[in-house]
Structure 1
């Protein structure tokens, strides 16, 4: 039986709904599915003309646009692997992704030309395409291309996730992974062909791509593509286009509810609100419920494409604090340190299985082996429990990950760079609760002798090496870091000491 991957999506949409608006962008321009499929074909032809085909990596750095999606599907049609790059990353982080993915081509928005030109040269990328000139550049690509039929296990994308050891890892997502996570979304979020989805989150995030854009395209709905998020504009677009579906993180929903236009904006068409990254605070739940709006919440990670569980709006209050039930085609279990299944109400590591779970990390066989159990379940590194009804509750994060405004921050990545500052003898980066961002990173240091260290000096050292959202919001110098008998820093003690602080 043939199992089509993303390579087949545009061709099938062109047959089924050629005149339906696929995308609305740039203040009201519309692109039909037939036009998006044509653009996709021209991207495929452009790649083919440059000798890029099966297994080759194509990096993309840019904001939400039709070209982003056309490049994703264009890569799929020639068997190439799409590598979206977070636009907020610093040059050394981007360089690592370009080198590690062995990108043969780079598609980029004009805003990133200056930042990426030396990087592309440094890793020898021969094919660089400006997205603003893409349609003009495609004029020489009308000769067609060799269509590659994907099999479920073929890589479709590599999405980089910050690593616990300080270097980001490329999570390989297959055609099967991205198809099944879209199907999970269709089932559990009741996505229909008449849905109009406002995309305010960047598509380079796996949640926006895998659970936002792809299921809407699979069903033949319409996406309102925004290059960035501004709460007043988002409210206007909801009313203007009759938006039915919105995805975001708690911070975005809070900023919309706090905007002066919130009370007077017509939100009557909204029926599906999904929120990830962290639990929705009660005051945000209250603000939206007062307008007759209810959230679906969930849990997942890049390695699960990303959805693992979802909490339906009807259970938001009765199961408050839970991240929901496993998605329809996904399973979750809780195990102890020996790998034994704990069943209900035992706290242990969350493990996930299903066709949406990735096969492994790019060029990292040891990390891949460590990420899976002997019987093939993905080890999330998070602690949780299942209640008697099967609902998952997150207890703690084994990896100490910080989630700030929906962005993941791994402390080790920041700590490794801070430890290079002369005079720093010890460092721990922890997440501190923040009303706007959920959490923000703080750094707690020990220093040698009379070394003078300030928040500004640490941020100045890191600026340009890390994305700015990863920079510590505050730096504290103490005499001694609390440690276990084996010498490991007790971050839970530091969080207890400083977690109630406001700066």
Structure 2
């Protein structure tokens, strides 16, 4: 008898336990029960099975948030196959890289991505390319193929340590690497959320962030599905529409990045919208600025903040709402089933309060990088802890504070500058809506810090005013040599600023 320990068992068990409970609500208001969602996943499994997909095969998907995304996810893992979600913002060469590197045998995509996936499909010679939706008689879509699929398929034997997904890192420092996440990784990160974010079966989660991103998948969708809650799926983020959906569906859970929450609070409908149902707000990507904390506290709301990365599925730490003010600037304590430590450049543990590299261990830490054994070996310490590449320290109570990414550290005149320290202060300047501090080559000092910022329409911000406000709060060598105002900061899908893009853009500018 088939024994499925992993995510592939979830749909069958939800169908047994809560068949008529609403699992999904699409943006147009159409609801889907757990029975219907499980049946849809079974149909996808049958369709893939009869096309020769077996355990270990990769099934790629590129599309916006939709029931099809979730049906393909669970339909794939039921076969023991590996789900490969692709960032919808990637350019054709980047998509081609993901398809080639993952060795995908199947690509399922929304019709609007046909042109962008075409070069990859041609280069990789994928066995099956299927559009979502109905399609037509000559090229039937996923809906038609699953509806007419022959019944029956064979669920694979699966253990928790088997690969479940390959999720490609944002690739801000080079070609994207495929992080291989096991059934165990995704199960335990969901359990961490149940414990530390108190997810319950009555929760209604508004999914405004893309599911191809590991935070939305591992810490948004999966914990709610595991508990039998309801997910409201949005194909994209629009602040006004999100506010209407919160009120309409009694949304209890919302996750995003600081920009998301700022846009909601700045929207004209903010004050008039009934958001009393909201009880759980999680924010990642960067620390929540004080002005955003204030706006939500005025409505009786506080944030859970956290830290993590694709390689940790992604949650590593969480800061509870009750500690938001007492530990402002911290990303919290290690998740319940996860541990964090700080090491120096030799790998030795350092004392509390000392900056070093953040190491992470736990069942949520990935298996390694797909087809990159050397990179995988380099990612782990000799005793098996994941080396994050981030700098931080633990305070006396064990709360983690991020200093910065090792690769983003600025060395000016022999002094180390951690951009996050400067960014946190600049973000509090009146009128500043976004900030990135980068190192720019300098003949005298090696590097000097520049600040690239976005501001609101009423702001009057100059290099001199920023330096004056920071003077006395930071050593002078940490003060930005120049402040550049831009319309928009380049960001990854997870909301992180692409500093490499900014360095490239301004590296030839006079300092």
Interval containing the TM-score (normalised by the shorter chain): 0.7 to 0.9
Name the counterpart of 1:378. Answer: 386
Indicate the RMSD between aligned Cα atoms, in angstroms: 2.9
Distance 1:174 1:360 in 2: 10
Partner of 2:106: 105
Aligned counterpart, 2:285: 277
Which position in structure 2 is the counterpart of 1:138?
A: 146
What is the CA-CA distance between 1:117 and the residue it aligns to?
A: 2.2
Residue number in structure 1 paired with 2:473? none
Distance verdict in 2 for CA 1:165–1:196, change over 3 Å: closer
Looking at structure 2, the residues matched to 307 and 431 of structure 1 have their Cα atoms a distance apart, in angstroms, of 29
Counterpart residue number, 2:34: 33
Contact 2:27/2:232 (<8 A) preserved: no
Q: Hey, what does 1:390 align to over in structure 2?
A: 398
Using structure 1 for the length normalisation, give the TM-score: 0.82
Deviation, 1:431, is 7.2
- Distance in 1, Cα, partners of 2:224 & 2:73: 15
Q: Which residue of 1 aligns with 2:429?
A: none
> Aligned partners of 2:454, 2:215: CA distance in 1, in Å?
23
The change in CA–CA distance for 1:136 and 1:290 in structure 2 (over 3 A counts) is same
**What is the deviation of 1:191?**
0.3
Give the secondary-structure state (helix, strand or coil) at the position aligned to 1:42.
helix
For 1:158, which of 129, 152, 166 is the aligned residue? 166
Aligned to 1:326: 334
Distance 1:105 1:175, change over 3 A: same
d(CA) in 2 for partners of 1:181, 1:433: 34
1:44 aligned to 2:45?
yes
Relative to structure 1, the CA distance from residue 431 to residue 298 in structure 2 (aligned partners, 3 Å threshold; closer, same or farther) is farther
Task: Determine if contact 1:22/1:223 at 8 Å carries over to the other structure.
Answer: yes
Aligned to 2:55: 54
Structure 2 match to 1:260: 268
Structure 2: distance between partners of 1:195 and 1:312: 18
Query: Which of residues 211, 221, 240 is equivalent to 2:219?
Result: 211
> In terms of mean alpha carbon deviation, does 316-325 or 390-399 score higher?
390-399
- Please name the residue that 2:462 is paired with: none
Equivalent of 1:171, from 159, 173, 179?
179
2:299 alignment partner, one of 291, 302, 306:
291
> Contact (CA 8 Å) 1:164, 1:399: kept in 2 or not?
no
Contact kept in structure 2, 1:7 and 1:149, CA below 8 Å: no
Counterpart pick for 1:200 among 183, 208, 217? 208
Partner Cα separation in structure 1 for residue 251 and residue 407 of structure 2: 37
For residues 138 and 311 of structure 1, the distance between their equivalents in structure 2, rounded to whole angstroms, comes to 43
| Deviation per residue, 1:407-462 (Å, 9 max, x gap) | xx9x9xxx9xxxxxxxxxxx9998734458xxxxxxxxxxxxxxxxxx9xxxxxx9
Q: Is the 8 A contact 1:77 1:149 kept in 2?
A: no
Listed one character per residue, the Cα deviations across residues 194-221 of structure 1 (whole Å, up to 9, x for unaligned) are 0000000000000000000000000000
SS, match of residue 363 in structure 1:
coil
Contact 2:337–2:363 (CA under 8 A) maintained in structure 1 = yes
CA 1:26–1:350 in structure 2 vs 1: closer, same or farther (change >3 Å)? same
Number of aligned residues: 437
2:4–2:157: 8 Å Cα contact kept in structure 1?
no
Q: Is the 8 A contact 1:333 1:341 kept in 2?
A: yes
- In structure 2, do the counterparts of structure 1 residues 429 and 343 end up closer, same or farther at CA, with 3 Å as the change threshold? closer
Per the alignment, residue 17 of structure 2 pairs with 16
Deviations 1:330-388 (A, max 9, x none): 00000111211113111110000000000100000000000000100000000100011
- Name the SS of the counterpart of 1:262 in structure 2: coil
What is the SS of the residue equivalent to 2:340?
A: strand
Aligned to 1:84: 85
1:381-420 equivalences under 5 Å are 381-400=389-408
From the superposition, tell whether residues 164 and 144 of structure 1 become closer, same or farther in structure 2 (CA, over 3 Å). same
For residues 450 and 114 of structure 2, the distance between their equivalents in structure 1, rounded to whole angstroms, comes to: 34
Q: Deviations over 1:22-58 (max 9, x none)?
A: 0000311000000000000000011101101111111
2:452 to 432, 442, 452: 432
| Residue 241 (structure 1) shift | 0.2
Q: Structure 1 residue 189 and structure 2 residue 209: aligned?
A: no
Match of 1:73 in 2: 74
Secondary structure class of the residue paired with 1:310: strand
Structure 1 segments of 4+ aligned residues over 4 angstroms from their partners: 401-404, 427-431, 469-474, 477-480
Gaps of at least 5 residues in structure 1 are 416-426, 437-454, 456-461, 481-496, 498-503
1:476 & 1:20 partners in 2: Cα distance? 53
Take 1:60 and 1:205, find their aligned partners in 2: how far apart are those partners? 12
The aligned runs of 1:340-355 (5 Å cut-off) are 340-355=348-363
Matched residues in 2 for 1:164 and 1:242: separation?
Answer: 37
Q: Give the whole-Å Cα distance in 2 for the aligned partners of 1:129 and 1:69.
A: 16
Determine whether 1:222 maps to 2:230. Answer: yes
Aligned to 2:443: none
Residue of structure 1 equivalent to 2:364: 356
Once the 2 structures are TM-superposed, how far is the Cα of residue 474 of structure 1 from its aligned partner? Answer: 8.9
Q: 1:377 to 1:54 in 2, by over 3 A?
A: same
